[in-house]
């Protein structure tokens, strides 16, 4: 208990602010425990799930989240490599055959450029193995936690109806008789608005052509999948960006061109868009403080409000089906750092306030912005150089953002869970209140001022709390802190005194108990987040 209090007391006092929290949930928005979910690059899906048996490290990191919320993170399998995947029902391609370009310092772990997926890619233990009976064959999706919903991408970039038919048949078949995991969505194509740039379509490819072509291929996909009138299992759009205009690639553009009036359009309940805060495909990476900054997060996300409003006006859900810090797998010394955990937490929570129901943070083997590195790595994720010794499966700091969000949202889904951004008159402090039913349960505050290696004076902000509403205001709280040495650290982060940086991905260490009172308030050092759980005395 004394550790956290002593830390705060030794920090230079920088500022004090007053924050008022509503006791009732009138203006809060509903939120699910799997707000922060995962998008996984399709080419190495079996490295994540496991093939003949499950990947226990990956399963453990997902089950940590299930334990906190009762909700399994949803998983999207797709992205760039989904438009380079073909299906072959042959022993030669039992699992998957892939062609990868060479590793480079900028892109140490590139995606496959050609993928031939066999039955075992979808059903992890296939009956062609003589020692596995038909009744005992496994399916890769069954290695995911119970209750996991899956989005699976189908190749649209190749413009091959036979490939769409065969892939859809294999995907749907992989979920036959699976009681604990479900196929939430089929996604036809990844970032088709970029097809004209990556030579998958002509240079003048436009949203009208896309919509016409999508309807043709999605009709094939929906008939192959056997969708019925009550199905809403086709994901719409999945664009890399948006013009926000009817005449070009955007939700408004596909609506204006009649996508929802088509046969497959009736199965769309959800629009997906992709977004990264910047790019590191070449050149220098973005600064960590820029990524973490509160105003940058809000301006980045608020640009999508026209799309969200247009989508919700039609009764559809809106999500980010692929997102993360910097595109092209992240920026070294930025995306893989502890500061990125504070960015991801504020980013996901603010997204709920403008109508984004879920965010799928993209992951790939060896990608710099991963929450989870699920397999042993032999090359540096930063520059592709050979490592002196292999790096075992591990979590990266951003994983703590998912843990904190899950714990703050809580597991009381029966009562209803909601979140509200509270007004904070400070450019570095963000705050969110969490409710169970109509009652205030917790609050999270994030200090996004970056404290870097080499710096000596770490400032702290003092928060004085007050409450509005007719309910009895709490007088005390317990505190959990995300303790970070420096914003550019890549390890040694703790949450409430405990660590997930373990060989098996499970939590270790003893909880650090800290108590506080509303009368005294709370101190938050630079580059730290805290969660307050309220009590009555």
Domain spans, the chain: 2-28+413-535, 41-330+356-365+373-396
**E-strand stretches of 385-520:** 386-391, 394-395, 417-421, 429-436, 439-447, 460-468, 476-483, 494-495, 515-517
In whole angstroms, how far apart are CA 145 and each of 43, 140, 401, 502? 21, 11, 20, 20
CATH of domain 41-330+356-365+373-396: 3.20.20.80
Of 267, 265, 165, nearest to 224 (Cα)? 165
Give me the residue label for tokens 């979808």: 122
Number of H helices, E strands in the chain: 12, 26
In whole angstroms, how far apart are CA 148 and each of 122, 259, 385, 522? 16, 28, 36, 37
Write the DSSP symbol of residue 143: G
Neighbours of 228 (CB within 10 A): 8
Q: ∠ CA(531), CA(348), CA(526), 5° rounding? A: 50
**Backbone conformation region of residue 99, classed left if phi is above 0, alpha if psi is from -120 to 50, else beta:** beta
Whether 330 and 280 have beta carbons less than 8 Å apart is answered as: yes
| Cα atoms in the Cβ-side hemisphere of radius 13 Å centred on 491 | 4
Contacts of residue 17, defined as CB under 8 A and 6 or more positions apart, other chains included, come to: 424, 425, 426, 429, 461, 462, 463, 464
Query: Going residue by residue through the chain (537 aa), what tens digit of pLDDT does each one get?
Result: 334 444 444 455 558 999 999 999 999 999 999 999 999 999 999 999 988 789 999 999 999 999 999 999 899 999 999 999 999 876 555 788 899 999 999 999 999 999 999 888 887 544 444 444 444 344 566 788 889 999 999 999 999 999 999 999 999 988 887 778 899 999 999 999 999 999 999 999 999 999 999 999 999 999 999 999 889 999 999 999 999 999 999 999 999 999 999 999 999 999 999 999 988 877 666 789 999 999 999 999 999 999 999 999 999 999 999 999 999 999 999 999 999 999 999 999 999 999 999 999 999 999 999 999 999 999 999 999 999 999 999 999 999 999 999 999 999 999 999 999 999 999 999 999 999 999 999 999 999 999 999 999 999 999 999 999 988 999 999 999 999 999 999 999 999 999 999 999 999 999 998 999 999 999 999 999 999 999 854
d(CA 364, CA 377): 12
Q: In the CATH hierarchy, which fold is given to the domain comprising 2-28+413-535?
A: Immunoglobulin-like (2.60.40)
pTM (2 d.p.)? 0.94
Backbone angles phi, psi at 179, to 5 degrees: -90, -20
Adjacent-strand bridge partners of 477: 516, 534
Written as one string, the DSSP assignment of 310-321 is: HHHTTT-EEEEE
Alpha helices in 175-229 (DSSP H): 207-225
**Structure-token pair, residue 378:** 């032999």
Crossing angle between the packed helical segments 56-69 and 399-409, to the nearest 10 degrees: 30
Continuous segment of H or E residues that includes residue 236: strand 234-239
Q: ∠ CA(303), CA(309), CA(315), 5° rounding? A: 145
Write the DSSP symbol of residue 102: P
Of 89, 37, 141, nearest to 356 (Cα)? 37
d(CA 419, CA 422): 9
Adjacent-strand bridge partners of 17: 463
């Amino acid at each position: 208990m004394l550790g956290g209090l002593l830390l705060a007391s030794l920090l230079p006092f920088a500022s004090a602010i007053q924050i008022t929290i509503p006791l009732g949930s009138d203006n809060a928005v509903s939120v699910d425990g799997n707000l922060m979910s995962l998008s996984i690059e399709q080419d190495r899906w079996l490295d994540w799930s496991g093939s003949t048996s499950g990947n226990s490290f990956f399963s453990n990191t997902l089950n940590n989240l299930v334990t906190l919320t009762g909700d399994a993170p949803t998983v999207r399998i797709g992205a760039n490599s989904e438009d380079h995947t073909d299906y072959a029902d042959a022993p030669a391609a039992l699992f998957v055959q892939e062609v990868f370009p060479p590793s480079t310092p900028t892109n140490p772990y590139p995606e496959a450029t050609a993928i031939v997926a066999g039955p075992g890619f979808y059903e992890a233990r296939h009956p062609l193995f003589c020692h596995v009976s038909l009744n005992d064959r496994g399916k890769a999706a069954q290695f995911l936690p119970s209750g996991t919903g899956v989005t699976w991408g189908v190749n649209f970039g190749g413009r091959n109806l036979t490939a769409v038919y065969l892939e859809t048949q294999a995907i749907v078949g992989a979920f036959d008789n699976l009681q604990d995991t479900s196929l939430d969505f089929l996604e036809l194509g990844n970032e088709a608005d970029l097809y004209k740039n990556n030579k998958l379509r002509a240079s003048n490819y436009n949203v009208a052509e896309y919509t016409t072509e999508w309807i043709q291929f999605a009709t094939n996909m929906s008939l192959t999948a056997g969708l019925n009138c009550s199905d809403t299992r086709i994901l719409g759009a999945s664009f890399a960006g948006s013009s926000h205009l009817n005449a070009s690639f955007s939700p408004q553009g596909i609506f204006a061109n009649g996508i929802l009036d088509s046969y497959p359009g009736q199965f769309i309940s959800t629009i997906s868009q992709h977004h990264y805060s910047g790019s590191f495909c070449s050149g220098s990476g973005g600064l960590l403080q820029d990524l973490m900054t509160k105003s940058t997060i809000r301006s980045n996300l608020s640009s999508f409000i026209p799309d969200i409003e247009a989508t919700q006006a039609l009764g559809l859900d809106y999500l980010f089906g692929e997102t993360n810090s910097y595109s092209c797998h992240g920026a070294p010394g930025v995306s893989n750092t502890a500061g990125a955990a504070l960015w991801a937490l504020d980013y996901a929570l603010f997204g709920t306030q403008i109508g984004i129901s879920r965010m799928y943070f993209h992951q790939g083997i060896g990608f710099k912005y991963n929450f989870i590195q699920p397999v042993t790595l032999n090359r540096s994720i930063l520059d592709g150089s050979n490592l002196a010794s292999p790096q075992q499966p591990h979590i990266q700091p951003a994983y703590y953002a998912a843990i904190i969000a899950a714990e703050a949202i809580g597991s009381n889904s029966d009562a209803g869970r909601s979140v509200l951004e509270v007004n904070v008159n400070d450019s570095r402090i963000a705050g969110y209140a969490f409710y169970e039913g109509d009652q205030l349960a917790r609050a999270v505050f994030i200090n996004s001022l970056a404290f870097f290696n080499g710096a000596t004076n770490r400032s702290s902000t003092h928060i004085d709390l007050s409450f509005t509403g007719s309910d009895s205001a709490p007088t005390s709280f317990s505190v959990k802190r995300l303790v970070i040495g420096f914003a550019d650290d890549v390890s040694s982060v703790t949450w409430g005194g405990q660590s997930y940086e373990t060989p098996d991905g499970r939590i270790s260490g003893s909880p650090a108990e800290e108590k506080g009172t509303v009368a005294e308030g709370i101190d938050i050092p630079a580059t730290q987040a805290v969660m307050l759980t309220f009590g009555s005395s």
